[in-house]
Amino acid sequence: MTAAIFIAAASSLLSCSSNSTEPLFSPSSARSLDVHDVATSAAAATAQGVRRDGTAPGSNGGPTLTVAGNQAVLTGGTLSVTVRAAAPFTAIYVYIGGKTLGLSGEGPGGVGGYYEIRLPSAVTSETVLLAFPQAIPLSEFELLFAVADPGGVVGPYVGLSTTVIAVGTGDVQVTLSWDADSDVDLHVVDPSGEEIFYAHRRSASGGTLDLDSNAGCDIDHVRNENITWPVGRAPRGRYTVRVDYWDSCAAAQTNYTVRINNGDNPQIVTGSFTGTGDQGGSGSGRTVATFERQTGPTASTYRGPAVLGPATGVSKQGKTSPLPGKE
């Protein structure tokens, strides 16, 4: 069952948009960055992470672990990381490693602060969901994870390297991220009734699908999609968000996360798919959220032609969107 989670983000970081993945800070000036500037929140399914000052606890013989997650993140998007340990743990620590800033090692001192997630009971596997601001001040970074056993003994840190893809952000931004090499599609219907998806990528109201990953099982490993409206263009009214399992591409299961940036309280929705996929077009997919926008221009009723995807001869194969800035 789809679960909805609301995660607050820093409003000062949600007003910018960038079409470049160039870092905004040099290694020397970036040392004044805080972990909250890179990731606005970190949470598990049963516990919200807390941002702490200082240096994350050092390793002193606790459980060893493995981490798995996408190696591409979107500005304004999310990243789901699976943490598995050799022994039960009750706490997770996350910080940004020193190599992110060109330092000699992964020790602390590069980006200030860290996240601590305290779990209500001991587990050997947990999913950490990180959310990112609409302006990330680095083009790439490395996340370091460690866990602590019920006695507080911390294990070794393990890194996950990520590359930032700068996509459109704007007043309304809907992102989709998933964890397998399958083809998952994001659909958004705007207040006029016009649907934006892979076969109809731009609406009259200004909404645009600017990133389409793994189209037709042409696997690019990005596993993210993005639909956005420019600042001042998003019409007021009701929006509907759907997620379609176009093709499993032989994946046994796909877990996804949708983030809706519409004002000061982004909405995050998670879910999963199994099966082979439906190769769906217009109107396809699972409705995961609806939301209202109170400001913006008035949307005219959409009277254009229905776009049905493959049934109308619109093929996904070979139609992947170039990454922003990679045209």
| Domains of the chain, earliest start first | 18-165 (2.60.40.2470), 172-312 (2.60.60)
pTM for this predicted structure:
0.85
pLDDT number for residue 126? 98
- Tell me how far CA of residue 116 lies from CA of 34, 41, 106, 122, 188, in angstroms: 14, 10, 18, 15, 34
Each residue's pLDDT, cut to its tens digit, for the chain (327 residues) gives: 344 433 333 333 333 333 333 444 444 444 588 999 999 999 999 999 999 999 999 999 999 999 999 999 999 999 999 999 999 999 999 999 866 666 545 555 568 999 999 999 999 999 999 999 999 999 999 999 999 999 999 999 999 999 999 999 999 999 999 999 999 999 999 999 999 999 999 999 999 999 999 999 999 999 999 999 999 999 999 999 999 999 999 999 999 999 999 988 899 999 999 999 999 999 999 999 999 999 999 988 888 776 666 544 455 654 444 444 333
**41: helix, strand or coil:** strand
pLDDT number for residue 271? 98
**Amino acid letter, residue 69:** G
Those residues with Cβ within 8 angstroms of residue 221's Cβ, 6 or more apart along the chain or in another chain: 70, 71, 72, 181, 214
Largest CA distance in the chain: 64
**What is the rounded CA–CA span in Å between residue 155 and residue 172?**
40
CA pseudo-torsion sign 62, 161, 38, 289: negative
Phi-psi region of 221 (alpha: psi -120 to 50; beta: other; left: phi over 0): left
pLDDT number for residue 97? 84
Q: What residues form DSSP beta bridges with 273?
A: 254
